[in-house]
Structures are given as C-alpha cells and as structure tokens.
Amino acid sequence: MSLRYIDLEQMRDTLLSKAGKWWGDMPSYEETKGRSVHACSVDDYDSLTALDDGTPLHWVKEFQKAVTASKDCTYHGSARDELKKHRDNKPVAPNLDKLAPEERIELGLISRAMGDFAVDSDQRERAAGSLDKVLAVKELRQLSLRDLRLLRNTIFARRGRSFKSQLLQEHFSHMPWYKPDPAYSDKLLTKTDRRNIELIRQVEQELGGALTDKDFQVANPSTAEDPEYIPPQLMA
C-alpha cells in the first residue's frame, strides 16, 4: 500500500505478462519491401536505420521512443520468437490459471491497492478480491492494519469522497482513477460498499483498532513489537 502507482502497475503487468497477456501496442515500421512490420527492434534491418554517413534516420528515434512506451516490448521483448508470433499486434487476455495460487493472490492485492479491481474487463468475474463483491473475512485477516485502513477508504474514494487526512489525500491523488466529487455523499455507496466497509472495520477492531495518520509513521504498525525491557541498574 505504500508503493507508488507506477510501481504497483509494473508489478501487476509483470504478472499479467506471465499469464500470457499481450497489450497489442507494439510499434511498427516500414521495411524495404514497403510492408508494415510490428516489432520491438529494427536490428535486422540496418540499412533502414541510418543514412550513408551513419546519421540515424528521424523515424528511428520516434520508433525507439515508441518501443520504450510499449508494454509488449517491455514485458515480452526478450522473447523474439514470441514477438514474431504476435506481429498481428492483437491484444490477448491473460489466462490467470497459468499463475500459481500465491501469484493470483498477489495480483488481486496489487490490483486492489491500485483501485482497479478488474484485472481485465473480460475477466472481472475471475479477478481475485474485487470490491464489486463482498469481501471474504478470511482474506481481510491476512492484511495489515495499514492495508485495511487504505482499503476501507479506497471504497469511499471510488465514489469520489474527499479526505481531510493528508495521508489519504496524498495516497489517492496518485491514483489516476481518483476523481473527487464535490457533491459526494454516503448515499452514493452501494449495498456491497457498505457491507465491505463494515467487514473491514470489524477486522480492524479484531486487530486492535483502526490506525491514524500518526500510526503510519511506524514502519509496520500491525507487527511492531515493544522494545526489549531492560531493568534499571541500581547505583552503587
């Protein structure tokens, strides 16, 4: 929960690529025969990349910039054979069955922290831990108090609530999906929202009570231990 959105996105996309997801965002260039080719490099076409004096062609710089921005190139760029199979540049949905059980749990937690609880629009029903469903208490008990507070407020944030807490303001301001609604009221919460908020509060109470902003200054509030007791030394 303390990670930046971009870090969470990279962790999520690494798992999605392992599950076979292709984004369909490979850049293209025109080869010598005039055919458009989707790829992540033009290493095999040196004659296309520079003028006779070795000056890189203008389009090469733009192509390389597009390669850097491509998720397919970022997560599949080392698999040349696979890249060739996907030169039609069509997106492919991930198959979460390819992931180990612990990886699916991690994917669900990452997606939840991002506030984007459907891994893919066509796999919403398969996505673990979606806030569009009633949460499992067993799963909530695996989270820290820090995670529980942020998760509970994510439910409000999804409906556009603004926050007085500076910590919460900063956390959700980095989420591209977060849009504060000046007209927000709790009436915007669904029955599922209200049920999940209550479940999270119950688990927070089981673990000692919800954290405050001040508690977040502790490295890991839910597992912090009291310092070792050292009895006072008697003066001689």
Residue range 39-54, pLDDT digits in tens: 888 755 545 555 455 5
Predicted confidence at residue 119, as pLDDT, reads 38
Predicted confidence at residue 107, as pLDDT, reads 83
Domain of 179, CATH number, reads 1.20.58.1690
Question: Residue 75 pLDDT > 60, yes or no?
Answer: yes
**Residue 212 shares a structural domain with residue 135:** yes
Q: Note whether residue 176 is domain-resident.
A: yes
**Residue 62 shares a structural domain with residue 138:** no
Note every long-range contact of 199-204, with CB atoms under 8 Å and residues 24 or more positions apart, other chains counting.
199/134, 199/135, 199/137, 199/140, 200/135, 200/140, 200/148, 200/151, 200/152, 201/152, 202/137, 203/137, 203/140, 203/141, 203/143, 203/148, 204/145, 204/148, 204/149, 204/152
**Residue 75 shares a structural domain with residue 135:** no
Question: Residue 208 pLDDT > 50, yes or no?
Answer: yes
Task: Report the pLDDT averaged over residues 25-32.
Answer: 81
Q: Note whether residue 74 is domain-resident.
A: yes
Most confident range (mean pLDDT) of 75-79, 143-147, 216-220 is: 75-79
Residue range of the domain that includes 48: 22-85
Q: If pLDDT is split at 50, 70 and 90, which confidence band does 76 have? A: very high
**Residue 73 shares a structural domain with residue 137:** no
Q: Note whether residue 113 is domain-resident.
A: no
Run of H or E including 206? helix 191-206
Total structural domains within the chain: 2
Q: Note whether residue 38 is domain-resident.
A: yes
Mean pLDDT, the chain, whole residue set:
77
Task: Report the pLDDT averaged over residues 19-29.
Answer: 90
Q: Note whether residue 177 is domain-resident.
A: yes
**Tokens describing residue 231:** 């009895």
Q: Note whether residue 99 is domain-resident.
A: no
Question: Residue 126 pLDDT > 50, yes or no?
Answer: no
Q: Note whether residue 107 is domain-resident.
A: no
Q: Note whether residue 114 is domain-resident.
A: no
